[in-house]
Structure 1
Amino acid sequence: MTAEPYVPAHGGLRALAEASRDYQGCDALEEAGIDRNAAYLTNAVKHFKFVPEERGKRRIHKKPSAAEVRACRPWLTAELRTVKPEIVVCLGATAAKALLGSDFRVTADRGVLLDFPELDELGPQHPRWALATTHPSAVVRAPDRRSAYQGLLADLEVVASAL
């Protein structure tokens, strides 16, 4: 799948923001049995920063600092209070650590439905479960993309069966 059909030819940032609501990136949700219309996708950390790659012109994403993760927490909790999801899927280590704690390791505990942590700022209306998996960008960078994709898909199938 490519994003090309979703990218507007004109309209600048506003048009891109509107178009991004319809583009969800890959077919893994549907392959796992999750209806895209029932899924709400967000990002635990709203910062995007990069460092230029030394070998060329590519931009390499740079992990957000702990301060940036903390700064985004009110936004994430506001989204969780508004959407009231049953399950929160943490895509990648940064999202998992932001929600499940700094000791959480995606490599050790991915694909496991966990009780959602008690967060004071959410009160009694918190999600039932959390699940962490690899970030989809890790699939793209993996030496064996097919195997990495199958791992992501298996994790999402856990979510689909719980719903």
Structure 2
Amino acid sequence: MDAGEFVPDGADLATLRRAAAGCHGCDLYRHAQQTVFGEGPDDARVVLIGEQPGDREDVAGHPFVGPAGRLLDRALDEAGIDRAATYLTNAVKHFKFVERGKRRIHQQPGRGEITACAPWLTAELATIRPELVVCLGAVAARAVVSPSFRVSRQRGEVIEMPDYRTVATVHPSAVLRAPDRDAAYREFLADLRVVRTAMG
């Protein structure tokens, strides 16, 4: 099972977004409220990729609008990167969670779900053709760079890929969960400043 049969060939982002709304490429669509597709300019020089939409994103239908998104906004601004000029998306387009009472608790997507959703990410990158891809967290880095990639070892490095350069860092939600949030934020900001420098 994967999303390949739902992805229209040679489509622009608007067409991809409409098609993704009906994706049944894995079982996550059964419980999520909606597909949360990427957003941003179709000629963005920089694409930022997270893991999956969270609870707020699933309700709103937009990527990075919850607490982690607000932290990302702040860090991008401080690093000198215009969020409005970037394209934001996730490796997996549906929210995976378990219910505990009235709360929906995030669950990390499995390898099969990441692989199933890969055709959407491939189509987004092929359409945008960015200069730089920023992987926010291990799931994104493994989806883009290699299944064996370790963010802890290679964060903040500019890696040459066949079609673009990529930089991996932690997901902004990891900064929010860190025991020393100020130190974690400084490290995250330093990685984004690497991205800004690489943009030229």
- Measured against the shorter chain, the TM-score band is 0.7 to 0.9
Deviates more, 1:31-40 or 1:43-52: 43-52
Structure 1: stretches of 5+ with no match in the other structure? 1-12, 119-125
Provide the C-alpha distance between the structure 2 equivalents of 1:39 and 1:78, rounded to a whole number of angstroms.
17
Which residue of structure 1 aligns with residue 153 of structure 2?
A: 108
1:89 equivalent in structure 2: 134
**How far apart, in 1, do the equivalents of 2:79 and 2:96 lie?**
31
Identify the match of residue 147 of structure 1 among 176, 180, 183: 183
Task: Give the Å deviation of 1:44.
Answer: 1.4
Is the partner of 1:42 in helix, strand or coil? strand
User: What is the CA-CA distance between 1:22 and the residue it aligns to?
Assistant: 9.4
Question: CA–CA distance in 2 between the matches of 1:22 and 1:143?
Answer: 22
- 1:136 has 2:172 as partner: yes
> What's the counterpart of residue 47 of structure 1?
94
Q: Is contact 1:87-1:131 (8 Å) kept?
A: yes
> Computing the radius of gyration over CA atoms, which structure comes out larger, 1 or 2?
1
RMSD across aligned C-alpha pairs, in angstroms?
2.2
Higher RCO, 1 vs 2 (CA within 8 Å, ≥6 residues apart): 2
Q: CA deviation at 1:131?
A: 0.7
**Percentage of matched positions with identical amino acids:** 55
Q: TM-score normalised to the size of structure 1?
A: 0.76
In structure 2, the residue matched to 1:32 is 79
Q: 2:60 aligns with which of 1, 8, 16?
A: 16
Task: Write the distance in 2 (CA, Å) between the matches of 1:16 and 1:57.
Answer: 18
SS in 2 for 1:89: strand
- What is the CA distance between 1:37 and its match in structure 2? 2.1
Task: Check the 8 A contact 2:63/2:88 in 1, yes or no.
Answer: no
Is residue 47–residue 68 contact of structure 1 (8 Å, CA) maintained in 2? Answer: no
Q: CA deviation at 1:49?
A: 1.0
The structure 1 segments of at least 4 consecutive aligned residues displaced by more than 6 Å after TM superposition are none
The number of aligned residues is: 137
| Partners of 2:64 and 2:104 in 1: CA distance | 25
- Which of 107, 118, 121 is the aligned partner of 1:62? 107
1:58, CA displacement in angstroms?
Answer: 4.6
With the length of structure 2 as denominator, give the TM-score of the two structures. 0.62
Q: Is 1:30–1:36's contact at 8 Å kept on the other side of the alignment?
A: yes
Supply the distance in 2 between the matched residues of 1:156 and 1:16 (Cα, whole angstroms): 26
CA deviation vs aligned residue, 1:72-120 (integer Å, no higher than 9, x gap): 111001100111111000000011011111211001100100012x4xx
